[in-house]
DNA sequence: TTATTAGTTCTGTTAATAACGAACTAATCG
DNA sequence: CGATTAGTTCGTTATTAACAGAACTAATAA
């Protein structure tokens, strides 16, 4: 059913917006996830999403280069259209980078903590920050191993 | 050094904005993380951040209730000021809810996958989606245990 | 070599968010 | 009871982000 599909596209859009993307970027992801065959041309995206060429262009650029690389395209010989599709590989790569976010929070908290320790009387609050820090550290220690573990499983099952 | 502190406040602000908060909300977190003693009154926040009462009020409400609960306040007998401070406990609680985000992505992908399977010819792309899904599933299986493991360590070290 | 296609880039408009200020409320103090 | 304090709410303004439209570019095709 065609309307069911559009509902999915919007749902995916809303989810994707929570990753910090624009509404249209979200809908592009949605459209590509639900496309049959699983790719779309520039024009079909414009038409299907009722969006201007400029917006589609900008957002595709973002999704391919600046953002996560979740979208990529392939070409066919003797055809200058680009066929845009989801790159599941890059999607996975992107999720796997969550620890980097943790790392940045951790680094900043560490800086703050050392500032507090050398400039302030208070001790109890610093202890609390240390606890939070220990959580980040723990996660940063464990997550990479966990991800590797999944990679192993993945290889086996192929 | 007082200027060093303000730089930290802004840095924290930028980081916090990436969690989807407003710039001012970010700066409030920053100010409270660097405050000595580690709490501030409503007025001192206004003054220190050069922000209006209304903005401080709105953002404190958000940080206390709608958002993560990363800020809370305490009172003192015979003093009607509120003393706002970071709640490290709620901060940790908030981070621990990352799996919920994973869950929602996973659920949506599952819906899409079952839609694709029953309505579309294509098979290869669905297989790719399944791989992505398996990553979410794996993480959702492992993360809670990991978090528990940290809780155990935490109790021991106290 | 001109016309068409496929997309990009630039500029303007609209819509959404963030922040402000002034008026308000509820509590306390003199 | 005013007067003051501590914060909230509401209507407005300013900033930012999203999108559109038209002009542009690079490549192919006739």
Q: What is the pLDDT along chain B (158 residues), one digit of tens a residue?
A: 678 999 999 999 999 999 999 999 999 999 999 999 999 999 999 999 999 999 999 999 999 997 789 999 999 998 999 999 999 999 999 999 999 999 999 999 999 999 999 999 888 999 999 999 999 999 999 999 999 999 999 888 76
* Chain center to CA of A30: 13
> Are B102 and B149 contained in the same domain?
yes
φ/ψ (deg, to 5) at A83: -110, 110
Strand C positions with any atom < 7 Å from protein CB? 5-11, 17-23, 27-29
Over residues B100-115, the pLDDT tens digits come to: 999 999 999 999 999 9
> Are A9 and A82 contained in the same domain?
yes
Q: How many domains does chain B have?
A: 2
Residue A20, sorted as left (phi over 0), alpha (psi -120 to 50) or beta, turns out to be left
> Are B78 and B105 contained in the same domain?
no
Residues A64 and A47 sit within 8 Å (Cβ to Cβ): no
Expressed as residue numbers, the domain containing A53 is 2-87
DSSP state of B67: S
> Are B77 and B152 contained in the same domain?
no
Residue ranges of alpha helices (H) inside chain B are 2-17, 23-33, 42-49, 53-61, 88-95, 98-119, 124-156
Over residues A44-64, the pLDDT tens digits come to: 999 999 999 999 999 999 999
Over residues A132-149, the pLDDT tens digits come to: 999 999 999 999 999 999
Is A121 part of the contact surface with chain B (CB cutoff 8 Å)? Answer: yes
Among the candidates B87, B117, B141, a domain finishes at B87
Is B93 part of the contact surface with chain A (CB cutoff 8 Å)? Answer: no
Among the candidates B30, B58, B87, a domain finishes at B87
Supply the CATH number for residue B79's domain.
Answer: 1.10.10.10
Residue ranges of alpha helices (H) inside chain A are 2-17, 23-33, 42-49, 53-61, 88-95, 98-119, 124-156
Distance from CA of A155 to the nearest CA of B (A): 11
Residues A24 and A60 sit within 8 Å (Cβ to Cβ): no
Distance CA A25 to C1' C16 in A: 17
> Are B52 and B114 contained in the same domain?
no
* Chain center to CA of B16: 8
**Chain A residues in contact with B8 (beta carbon < 8 A):** 111-112, 115
> Are A6 and A66 contained in the same domain?
yes
Strand D positions with any atom < 7 Å from protein CB? 5-11, 17-23, 27-29
Query: In the structure, what pLDDT confidence band is assigned to residue A31 with cuts at 50, 70 and 90?
Result: very high
> Are B79 and B19 contained in the same domain?
yes
Residues A94 and A135 sit within 8 Å (Cβ to Cβ): no
- Closest residue, by C-alpha, to the C1' of C18: B22
What is the rounded average pLDDT of the residues A25-41?
97
Residue B92, sorted as left (phi over 0), alpha (psi -120 to 50) or beta, turns out to be alpha
Nearest to B142 among A20, A138, A146 (CB): A146
> Are A8 and A80 contained in the same domain?
yes
pLDDT score recorded for residue A121: 85
Is B54 part of the contact surface with chain A (CB cutoff 8 Å)? Answer: no
Query: In the structure, what pLDDT confidence band is assigned to residue A123 with cuts at 50, 70 and 90?
Result: confident
Among the candidates A41, A57, A87, a domain finishes at A87
pLDDT score recorded for residue B16: 95
Proximity of residue B50 CB to strand D below 7 A: no
pLDDT score recorded for residue B82: 97
- Exposed e or buried b for every residue in B36-74, given b needs 16+ CB within 10 A? eebbbebeebbebbebeeebbeebbebbbeebbebbbbe
pLDDT score recorded for residue B154: 86
- State how far the Cα of B158 lies from the Cα of B156, in Å rounded to an integer: 5
Q: Is B79 helix (H, G, I), strand (E, B) or coil?
A: strand
> Are B15 and B46 contained in the same domain?
yes
> Are B69 and B114 contained in the same domain?
no
Could you tell me which residues come within 8 angstroms of residue B47 by beta carbon, excluding any fewer than 6 positions away?
none
> CA-CA distances (angstroms) from residue A153 to A31, A157, B138, B140?
30, 6, 10, 15
Could you tell me the two tokens for A25? Answer: 């970027």
φ/ψ (deg, to 5) at A96: -65, -10
- In terms of pLDDT, which residue wins out, A67 or B9? B9
Is A34 part of the contact surface with chain B (CB cutoff 8 Å)? Answer: yes
- Whose structure tokens read 């079952």? B114
> Are A53 and A110 contained in the same domain?
no
A128, burial (CB in 10 Å: exposed 0-12, middle 13-18, buried 19+): middle
> Are B56 and B103 contained in the same domain?
no
């Amino acid at each position: 059913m065609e309307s069911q599909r559009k509902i999915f596209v919007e749902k995916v859009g809303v989810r994707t917006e929570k990753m910090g993307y624009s509404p249209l970027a979200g809908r592009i992801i949605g459209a590509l996830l639900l496309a049959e065959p699983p790719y779309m041309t520039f024009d079909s995206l414009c038409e299907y999403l009722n969006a201007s060429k400029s917006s589609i262009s900008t957002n595709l650029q973002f999704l391919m280069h600046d953002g996560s690389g979740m979208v990529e395209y392939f070409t066919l010989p003797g055809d200058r259209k680009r066929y845009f599709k989801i790159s599941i590989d890059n999607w996975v790569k992107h999720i796997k980078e969550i620890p980097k976010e943790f790392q940045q929070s951790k680094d900043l908290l560490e800086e703050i903590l050392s500032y507090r320790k050398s400039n302030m009387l208070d001790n109890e609050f610093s202890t609390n920050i240390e606890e939070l820090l220990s959580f980040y550290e723990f996660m940063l220690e464990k997550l990479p191993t966990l991800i590797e573990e999944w990679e192993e499983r993945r290889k086996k099952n192929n």
